[in-house]
Amino acid sequence: MSIIDTALDRTLVGYTKIGSSARGLNSEEPFPEIAGKHIMVTGATGGIGKAAAERLAANGAVVHAVGRSEDKLAALEAGADGTIIPHKADLSLMRSIVDLTDSYAEAGDPLHGLINNVGIMIHERTETEEGFELTFATNLLGQYVLTLRLLPALIASAPSRVVMVSSGGMYSQGLTVSNLQSTIGEYNGTNAYARTKRAEVVLAEEWAASLADDDVTVNSMHPGWVDTEGVKTSLPTFRRITGPFLRDASQGADTIVWLAASDEAADLSGSFVHDRQPRPTHRMKKTVEDAEKRERFMEYMASTASPWLEPSS
């Protein structure tokens, strides 16, 4: 990275639309190499997920768009310049993920890419029908179960790619095992969100190492500060202060599409990427985890997810 590029990040300007412009990124760059490839995008009906799905489809990919709203999925399919296949699912519910992945397997389509984009930030602790804290279920456990249940298709279609859409918020939190579901202390939605985003980065690193021999590339990424409905709803003060400098959805989705489609990204498996470049995963010593904590985290995820990872009868 250049001195200017590093300075953009350290001053936080790099996360704004100024950073995207200064780095000369083209959010309309074509990637013809993905024509005909099947890529699943979660959270595909709004924000950067929608922008990524539309751009991938416009480049010739067959996009499997996952969302909760039939109306929004239908609108996405109708308005796309390319092929969008809608899949209705609630990714906070593991049984819904089982249904989604079973139906995908039954259809027999290949899978060359998975974009784990869906994410929420809420400000009151809420549990799903299955008894999991909602942010944990949506941002982490659901993505874990979805990815592992789709792994056979990703390996069979290799070379394939998995992209975990994280956030700069993860810099504020270290990896936790005991409080992943926010059961300790007063609930703080921003911290709960950031903990899941830190965990996504660790998952990407662990999966990249374990899947290297299967030719499955796994990355986490930071989209920058993007003006989405989620930011408007969950971070109104942040949006009011930074509004003029926020990226649009296409700028936020650029690195997602680049990681899923470009030849250059094939050599970056395991990296945390922002604006098409690997970035540090820690800014503070206190957030650095040791190998033992990583192992306990992976064991916790495997144990918690196990009921939904058994082959369906």
Query: Alpha-carbon Rg of the chain, whole angstroms?
Result: 18
Q: E-assigned strands of the chain? A: 38-42, 62-67, 83-88, 113-116, 160-165, 216-221, 272-274, 277-278
Among 104, 144, 171, 193, the active-site one is: 193
Which amino acid does the sequence have at 253?
A: A
Cross-strand bridge partners of residue 297:
none
CA distances from 89 to 96, 98, 117, 132, 179 (A): 6, 10, 14, 17, 27
Element (H, E) at 254: helix 249-261
- Residues 176 and 185 sit within 8 Å (Cβ to Cβ): no
Q: Tell me 137's DSSP state.
A: I
In the residue annotation, 300 being an active-site residue is answered as no
Distance CA 82, CA 84 (A): 7
- Residues 118 and 91 sit within 8 Å (Cβ to Cβ): yes
Active site residue ranges:
193
